[in-house]
Amino acid sequence: MTGTVSGTGLLLRRLGQREYESTWAAMRAFTEGRTEATPDELWLLEHPPVFTLGRNAAREHLLDPGDIPTVAVDRGGQVTYHGPGQAVLYTLVDLRRRGLGVRALVDALEGATVDWLAAQGIAAATRRDAPGVYVEGAKIASLGLRVRHGRAYHGLALNVDADLAPFDRINPCGYRGLPVTRLADLGVETTPEAAGAGVAGKLAERLGSRIRPTEGADHAG
């Protein structure tokens, strides 16, 4: 375990499909408005097609966006793609309260994904030089984080049954010719919501925590 907060759970919100920019704004508002007593939350959702550029992203890696919108955001990392069929898990976690550094949260997110994939019979690995999760050299999950005042947001995107063609329009995560893959091509039939919830459970284990389901209608912002 990378860190434990006694009695502190992770509130899992299942949000369905949400527009990227409004969700990003809601993450920032949540992070700015939270207090020492605010529970950590995981937001599980899908986005309509969008390319996002991290703070230090070089636009040369955005090769041919076409009709897919591009949003410059405040997370780390380069360019990536989000779209339907991808499980996006945003981690709104108070690192300072949990006694974690950014690297520890990255390791926990990657490790949780590797753990969940192993439970599906898929051998996955990480790369120290290129954050994310890989299966036989092809990227199946990307991640990027932002930390403000010791509190993290953004998170992880796992390819479940998403259309992978838009990745051909970019250098994924800044790597020319980097192959990408998805669960559907690896013989795993599941939904983005089920896959994301599975990774969320593994993440809770790695953080020495537990998942607290929401009651009633989920919301963000």
Residues that constitute the known binding site for substrate: 75-82, 142-144, 155-157
Decide if 173 is catalytic.
Answer: yes
Virtual torsion, Cα 136, 109, 116, 85, nearest 10 deg: -80
CA 142 to chain centroid, in Å, comes to 7
Q: Which of 151, 146, 111 minimizes the C-alpha distance to 132?
A: 111
Single-letter amino acid code for the residue at 182: R
In angstroms, the CA 143 to CA 138 distance is: 15
Please state, in angstroms and as integers, the Cα–Cα distance from residue 1 to each residue in 100, 106, 113, 204, following that order: 11, 13, 15, 10
Distance CA 77, CA 75 (A): 7
CA–CA dist 59, 63 (Å, integer): 8
Pick the catalytic residue from 112, 173, 197, 203.
Answer: 173
Contact status, residue 66 vs residue 169, Cβ threshold 8 Å: yes
Residue showing tokens 């949003």: 71
Please state at what angle helix 102-119 crosses helix 192-206, rounded to 10 degrees. 130
Catalytic site positions: 173
